[in-house]
Amino acid sequence: MVLIVVIDRDGYRDSYDGKVGLIDSIYYATVTLTTTGYGDITPVSPGARLVNAFIVTPLRIAFLVVLVGTTLEVLANEGRRIMRDTRWRKRMKDHTIVVGYGTKGRSAVHTLLSNGVKRDNIVVIDPRAQAIGDAGNDQMAAFHGDATNRTVLRRAEVVSAREVIVTTDRDDSAVLVTLAVRQLNPNAHIVVAVREEDNVPLLRQSGADAVVTSSEAVGRLLGLSAVSPNLGEVMEDLLTYGEGLEVAERPVLGREVGKPPSAVPDRVVSVVRDGKVHRYYDSNVSVLAAGDKLIVVRPAKETPWAERPGADEDED
């Protein structure tokens, strides 16, 4: 519009000095498109008036349509987002929150999904927009923000979460997130990944139920592979889902009650009784009881990590 006025500036009259220059054209275009105009610069020639009637006026209408339409779209999107959040919060309970959707976070989510956890029950929190986009592409609810902020945790309904997995890039951030989660939800099961072994006691004091030292675990696997390549290969196989051997937890079947762990078809590593983990050689679990759970090693292709179908029928 500025270009149109500059080219046809002789067809316009400025009440101040009678002339219309470049600055006057910018001013006229601005006030005409955004308002009804002040009348200090007016089209006087027939050509200028026709241009205003058939070009400038449609431009003004288009500007108002875009302005109002954009405003309504923003308000509508915000309204839909609020409605979605409200519906989501009403049904979200006993879910799992994953803080950090990097390599460790994605691996944890993959394991959860492989173990039967539904995508609808997983919520991701990450300060990086790219990570939030990746979580959304993976069809999971995601919140953009810092998990050390209690407001972000509340938006993710941490109060009603069953489990929180913390995989931040820094150990100090992991401590702050753990403290905030434990304050908001005293009953949640919190699993934290840290880089340094020295920070494990601090995380446990902060409220973490389980702490995994990533650098220590990687270093131990490297050492085992160097000392015994075969042992390193077996350990890597156990840590890799879907191939070779798997470490899994399953309930004791009815036909296994009263038998020793060695009589179970699976290779029993530990027995969980009354929430406490016992090694397979512990005399306290020399005989399996109803309600026990077994930590076993078995072929990955044989059964999934989740409880075996028909376990309840077998127990009956």
137, 143 in Cβ contact below 8 A?
no
Whether 2-88 and 245-315 share one fold: the answer is: no
pLDDT at res. 241: 63
**Alpha-carbon span 109 to 239, nearest angstrom:** 15
Q: Is the pTM of this model over 0.95?
A: no
Question: What 3-state DSSP class applies to 145?
Answer: coil
**Alpha-carbon span 55 to 53, nearest angstrom:** 6
pLDDT at res. 215: 64
Strands 245-251 vs 293-299: parallel, antiparallel or unpaired? antiparallel
- Residue 302: pLDDT above 70? no
CATH number of 245-315: 2.30.30, 3.30.70, 1.10.357, 1.10.150?
A: 3.30.70
Domain 2-88: CATH architecture, name and number where available:
Orthogonal Bundle (1.10)
Phi, psi of 82 (to 5 degrees): -65, -40
Alpha-carbon distance values, 163 to 34, 180, 204 (Å): 54, 14, 16
Tell the CATH topology of 93-218: Rossmann fold (3.40.50)
At 239, is the pLDDT very low, low, confident or very high (cuts 50, 70, 90)?
Answer: low
**Alpha-carbon span 296 to 266, nearest angstrom:** 6
123-141 confidence digits (pLDDT tens): 999 999 899 888 888 888 8
Question: Residue 242 contacts by C-beta under 8 Å, 6 or more apart in sequence?
Answer: 114, 300
Question: Residue 85 contacts by C-beta under 8 Å, 6 or more apart in sequence?
Answer: 155
158, 185 in Cβ contact below 8 A?
yes
CB atoms within 10 A of CB 301: 10
Token pair 């027995």 in the structure block, residue: 271
The lowest-confidence range among 10-14, 139-143, 226-230 is 226-230
294, 264 in Cβ contact below 8 A?
yes
Structure token pair of residue 215: 């650098």
Kindly list the domain boundaries of the chain, sorted by start residue: 2-88, 93-218, 245-315
